Amino acid sequence: MSNSGGGVADGQSPPRPTFHEVQLIVDPHGLGSVVVDGVDLSLAVNGITFVSQVGDTTRMELALVAPRVEFDGQATIEIRYATRAALIALGWTPPAGDGQ
């Protein structure tokens, strides 16, 4: 049985969280290590958000980097509005014919 995002709204109970063994070491300079279930993810992680609230499950969100991505072909490029606005504020000029 797969979970397709169902939850309380469709009459099902919310999915139970999956717990993992996590070891997080970070120094004041932002250097350290992230080990999840015995696997060192340090080289693939560029950000960590740690959320702990009374009465709720402690949650860690990892932002991962792709060390190498290759693509050979045509694609459209989309820039989110907030990113576009920030780039323009920093002096970027959108290309001619940019429809955004």
When pLDDT is cut at 50, 70 and 90, the band that residue 54 belongs to is very high
Instruction: Show the tokens assigned to 46.
Output: 């560029």
Per residue in 6-41, pLDDT (tens digit) is 445 556 777 777 788 889 888 888 788 888 888 888
More confident residue, 98 or 9: 98
pLDDT for the residue numbered 46: 84
- 32 burial type by CB count under 10 A (0-12 exposed, 13-18 middle, 19+ buried): middle
33: β partners: 25
pLDDT at 43: 81
Average pLDDT rounded to a whole number, residues 80-89: 79
